[in-house]
């Protein structure tokens, strides 16, 4: 019997009615002759609400307790979905991440799955049950503590289980019809794509397209697993994220540009008046890495001849911004810079497409589109299949729409549908 893994996101499980609707879909899949293993996220914006609650009782809650709190969200969903299935006369068994055998490292809040031992799931499936697993959570191999996988982590749970169970299909159900050429909440004319390569989806996810968590796409690539992203609110065919084509063999049907992603989660620090001597950059970025902060873009200007000094700018997650500024400020005398500037009102736009490798002029069209829209570019970075620019945060939505149009990505078939969710 085919084995289907399905994941339902929070927007598909927002209230009792939604849970009943999802239960009906799951039962239908079972009735169609499949074994079904379902991964669920927390209902609606529960995870955000739990984070706010934690913040209200403590500005810096212990990571262990935060994970204990957040995993409760997915536990609620798994039990409620199981109950709704029972109410439809079918039998379901729910399991926490730990019970499902999702083994992680011990990094609370951003744990990595290192092994999956799904013995209890295989047994429950063999016994004829539908299995419901709480996403986003696991148990640390070393500390035996409960961990969470990072925001959007249920996507990764689904792919990891699909790989471990050798599933025939891995379906990610969400509140839009699939992967679009841009976030349909910002670009209503965005077009749904039928297929996208895993490599392009990785760049989209890394550039802020949260429709799939980056780790989940990486995991699927490692296990050569296709993912079907689709809506739980419609029966339309979604988007297939397919594993790499054979090395050196291009997908001739693929468009040059896969899509435009945006990210509002970063801030920019400029270290002004850094001595332009060997070791200056090393000293700054050693200090930053000691704070466990991940840097994204870096720009260093040519130094002024008169002063022999230069400016170094870099972007980092907003959440780490104040910590990094404080660390630099504390080390000001030793590092020998003049001043610091901090800007958390920036936005990053990324254009992604494997066709960039063989088509020159992509950057020129991008920069011209931004110029025509009167949008200033503050930083630029590129990879083989991506060009990213930092702009003023208030102008980011306009920038995304302008670039989407300039690359001919607008749909001629009417507006994209966003079925639910708050976009949080
Ligand atoms: P879920 O609760 O199902 O996990 P998410 O909110 O995490 O859903 O992800 C779905 C959302 O991702 C969509 O509602 C959409 O706003 C956003 N999104 C961003 N970029 C894209 C894109 N390129 N294609 C589709 N959705 C996107
Ligand atoms: N509930 C978690 C979150 O909101 C995990 C998920 O939805 O995938 O990030
Ligand atoms: Mg998600």
Ligand lying closest to the C-alpha of residue 423: 1
Ligand 1, atom 10, residue with closest C-alpha: 211
* Ligand 1 center to 11 CA (angstroms): 10
- Domain residues for the domain of 182 are 3-249
Instruction: Compute how many other C-beta atoms are within 10 angstroms of the C-beta atom of residue 351.
Output: 30
Q: Are 293 and 326 in contact (CB under 8 A)?
A: no
What CATH number is associated with residue 194? 3.40.1160.10
Ligand nearest to C-alpha 78: 2
Domains identified in the chain, total number: 1
For residue 248, the tally of other CB atoms under 10 A from its CB is 5
Ligand minimally distant from the alpha carbon of residue 172: 1
Torsion of CA 402, 406, 410, 415, to 10 degrees: 10
Answer whether 154 contacts ligand 2 (Cβ < 6 A). yes
Report helix, strand or coil for 337: coil
Which of 6, 151, 174 should be mutated for ligand 1, with most atoms under 8 A from CB?
A: 174
Ligand 2 in reach of 153 Cβ (< 6 A)? yes
Q: Is residue 238 part of a domain?
A: yes
Q: What is the pLDDT of residue 423?
A: 78
C-beta of 27 in contact with ligand 2 (< 6 A):
no
| Extended beta strands in 75-159, E state | 92-95, 102-104, 113-116, 130-134, 137-140, 146-148
Q: Are strands 259-263 and 239-242 parallel, antiparallel or unpaired?
A: unpaired
Looking at the CA of 151, name the nearest ligand: 2
Residue 90 falls within a domain, yes or no? Answer: yes
Question: Residue 279, SS3?
Answer: coil
Atom of ligand 1 nearest to the CA of 182: 23
In a domain, 415, yes or no: no
Beta bridge pairs of residue 4: 36, 169
Ordered per-residue pLDDT tens for the chain, 424 residues:
999 999 999 999 999 999 999 999 999 999 999 999 999 999 999 999 999 999 999 988 999 999 999 999 999 999 999 999 999 999 999 999 999 999 999 999 999 999 999 999 999 999 999 999 999 999 999 999 999 999 999 999 999 999 999 999 999 999 999 999 999 999 999 999 999 999 999 999 999 999 999 999 999 999 999 999 999 999 999 999 998 764 555 566 668 999 999 999 999 999 999 998 899 999 999 999 999 899 999 999 888 888 889 999 999 999 999 999 999 999 999 999 999 999 999 999 999 999 998 888 999 999 999 999 999 999 999 999 999 999 999 999 999 999 999 999 999 888 999 998 787 8
| Cα gap 226→198, rounded to integer Å | 8
Asked if 259 contacts 334 with a C-beta cutoff of 8 angstroms, the reply is no
Report the pocket of ligand 1 as residue ranges, CB < 6 Å.
Answer: 9-12, 41, 152, 174-176, 179-180, 182-185, 209-211, 259, 418, 421, 423
In a domain, 329, yes or no: no
- Would you say 155 and 212 are in contact if contact means Cβ atoms under 8 Å apart? yes
Residue 136 Cβ < 6 Å to ligand 2: yes
Torsion sign over Cα 383, 265, 43, 73: positive
The residue among 321, 254, 256, 257 whose CA lies nearest residue 293 is 321
CA neighbor of 347 nearest in space, from 299, 397, 406 = 397
Find the DSSP H helices in 207-359: 214-222, 280-290, 318-330, 332-335
Residues 100, 102, 103, 109, CA torsion sign: negative
Question: For ligand 2, is residue 47 a contact (CB within 6 Å)?
Answer: yes
- C-alpha to C-alpha distance for 120 and 371, rounded to whole angstroms: 57
Instruction: Report pLDDT for 360.
Output: 86
Q: Residue 185 CA: which ligand 1 atom is closest?
A: 16
The DSSP secondary-structure symbol of 384 reads T
Within a domain: residue 307? no
pLDDT value of position 49? 98
* C-beta separation of 396 from 356 below 8 A: no
Measured distance CA(369)–CA(63) in Å, rounded: 44
Nearest-CA residue for ligand 2 atom 5 is 152
Three-state DSSP class for residue 268: strand
The answer to whether the beta carbons of residues 43 and 76 sit under 8 Å apart is yes
| Dist. CA 392 → ligand 2 center (Å) | 28
Parallel, antiparallel or unpaired: strands 102-104 and 137-140: parallel
In this prediction the pTM is 0.94
Compute the distance between CA of residue 342 and CA of residue 270 in angstroms, rounded to an integer.
7
Rounded to whole angstroms, how far apart are CA atoms 52 and 65? 14
Q: Is residue 408 part of a domain?
A: no
Binding site as annotated, residues for ATP? 7-10, 174-175, 185, 210-211
Query: Maximum distance among all alpha carbons in the chain?
Result: 81
> Which residue ranges make up the annotated binding site for substrate?
47, 74
pLDDT at res. 166:
97
One DSSP character per residue, 20-72 reads HHHHHHHHHHHHTT-EEEEEE--STTHHHHHHHHHHHH-SS--HHHHHHHHHH
Q: Is 11 in the pocket of ligand 2 (CB under 6 A)?
A: no
Residue 239 lies in a domain: yes
Q: Are 155 and 98 in contact (CB under 8 A)?
A: no
């Amino acid at each position: 019997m085919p084995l289907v893994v399905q994941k339902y996101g929070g927007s598909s499980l927002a209230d009792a009615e939604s849970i009943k609707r999802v239960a009906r879909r799951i039962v239908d899949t079972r009735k169609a002759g499949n074994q079904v293993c379902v991964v669920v996220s927390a209902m609606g914006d529960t995870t955000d609400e739990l984070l706010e609650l934690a913040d209200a009782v403590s500005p810096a809650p212990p990571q262990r307790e935060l994970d204990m709190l957040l995993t409760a969200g997915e536990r609620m969903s798994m039990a409620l979905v199981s109950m709704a299935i029972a109410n439809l006369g079918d039998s379901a068994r729910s399991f926490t991440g730990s019970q499902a055998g999702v083994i992680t490292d011990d990094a609370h809040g951003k744990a990595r799955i290192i092994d999956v031992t799904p013995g209890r799931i295989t047994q429950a499936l063999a016994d004829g049950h539908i299995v419901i697993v709480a996403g986003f959570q696991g148990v640390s191999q070393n500390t035996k503590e409960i961990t969470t996988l990072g925001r959007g982590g249920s996507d990764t749970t689904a792919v990891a289980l699909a790989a471990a169970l050798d599933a025939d299909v891995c379906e990610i159900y969400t509140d839009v019809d699939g992967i679009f050429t841009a976030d349909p909440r910002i670009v209503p004319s965005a077009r749904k794509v039928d297929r996208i390569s895993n490599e392009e989806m990785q760049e989209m996810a890394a550039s802020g397209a949260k429709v799939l968590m980056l780790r989940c796409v990486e995991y699927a690539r490692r296990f050569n697993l296709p993912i079907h992203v689709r809506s739980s609110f419609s029966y339309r065919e979604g988007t297939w994220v397919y594993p790499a084509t054979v090395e050196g063999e291009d997908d001739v049907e693929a468009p040059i540009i896969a899509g435009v992603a945006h990210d509002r989660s970063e801030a920019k620090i400029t270290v002004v008046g850094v001595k332009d001597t060997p070791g200056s950059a090393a000293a700054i970025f050693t200090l930053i890495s000691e704070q466990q902060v991940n840097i994204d873009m870096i720009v260093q200007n040519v130094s002024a001849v008169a002063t022999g000094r230069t400016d170094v700018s870099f972007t980092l997650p907003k959440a780490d911004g104040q910590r990094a500024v404080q660390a630099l400020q504390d080390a000001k005398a030793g590092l020998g810079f003049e001043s610091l500037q901090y800007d958390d009102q920036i936005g990053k736009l990324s254009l992604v497409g494997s066709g960039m490798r063989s088509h020159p002029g992509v950057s020129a069209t991008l920069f011209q589109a931004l110029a025509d829209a009167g949008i200033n570019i503050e930083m630029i970075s590129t990879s083989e299949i991506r060009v990213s620019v930092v702009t003023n945060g208030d102008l980011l939505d306009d920038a995304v729409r302008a670039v989407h149009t300039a690359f001919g990505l607008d749909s001629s078939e009417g507006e994209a549908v966003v079925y639910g969710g708050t976009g949080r």
